[in-house]
Amino acid sequence: MTGPEAHHLRTVLRLSPGDPITFFDGTGARYQARIERILKDRVTATIIGQTRDLPPKVHLHLGQALLKGQKMDLILQKATELGVEAIYPFYSEHGIHKQPRDTQMDRWQRIVIEACKQCDRATPPEIHTPREVTDLITQPPPCDARLIFWEHETRHTLKDVLAPHNKDCRSVLFLLGPEGGFSETEVACAQKEGFIPVSLGPRILRAETATLAATAILQFTLGNLDPVLPDDQEKSPCAPLSNG
């Protein structure tokens, strides 16, 4: 291991030869290893075991309107911690229309990777290139249920909407709007494409609060927050890593 990761192990975590460490490969596999050598420019370790995280009961896909300042950073971080599988940023009528720079996309990737390390998640969420909300609505990823959270919805609650899907639902796409909310035109377009408007209650929430609340409620309702016992993880042997 070289570069920033080796520097972090050596100077921040201050690990020593013989200390245990876990590596992720970004595909759900985690490798239990033992540090062998810590040099100025690299750290070497021997892999002694491997496990693979089980997939969630229901795959959650977040469609998020682009937000101002560091609010988007917060959502990416917390959505990663809460187990969202894919994030689809989008432009909306009442939100941001400025195209993110390439460096911004790189920054978002670093945020989710750091969040994975913090919450012990082996597979980072996939961050898609921002697009217009109408494109996401008319060309959504394949999902069993499609939801659009709207503060003016007065009929459908999340519990009622999900009840018919509890047994056979394997994936959910849910959309959260910008600070100014979705326009009626956007909601009407979503309904035409099979999205169900749902409410988060009588209070007007900040955009980032609404996203985190909706994500946590969905994950709990769908059973993705149930504890995973160590014996539930898939185990497989792994050959030692070369010390070279």
Which tens digits make up the pLDDT trace of 123-180?
A: 899 999 999 999 999 999 999 999 999 999 888 778 788 776 666 789 999 999 999 9
- In 55-183, which residue ranges form alpha helices assigned H by DSSP? 71-81, 102-119, 133-138, 158-162
Is the same domain home to 39 and 160?
no
Q: Looking at residue 213, what DSSP letter applies?
A: H
Is the same domain home to 129 and 181?
yes
Residue 243 in any domain: the answer is no
Is the same domain home to 120 and 141?
yes
Which tens digits make up the pLDDT trace of 173-231?
A: 999 999 999 999 999 999 999 999 999 888 889 999 999 999 999 999 888 888 765 55
> What are 191's strand-pairing partners?
none
Nearest partner of 224 among 156, 172, 181, 179, judged by Cα? 172
CATH of the domain at 186: 3.40.1280.10
Is the same domain home to 213 and 110?
yes
Residue 242 in any domain: the answer is no
Is the same domain home to 9 and 91?
no
> 103-130 as b/e, with b when 16 or more CB fall inside 10 Å?
eeeeebeebbeebbeeeebbbbbebbeb
Reduced 3-state DSSP string for 55-76: CCCCEEEEEEECCCCCHHHHHH
Q: Is the pLDDT of residue 241 over 90?
A: no
**How many structural domains are present in the chain?**
2
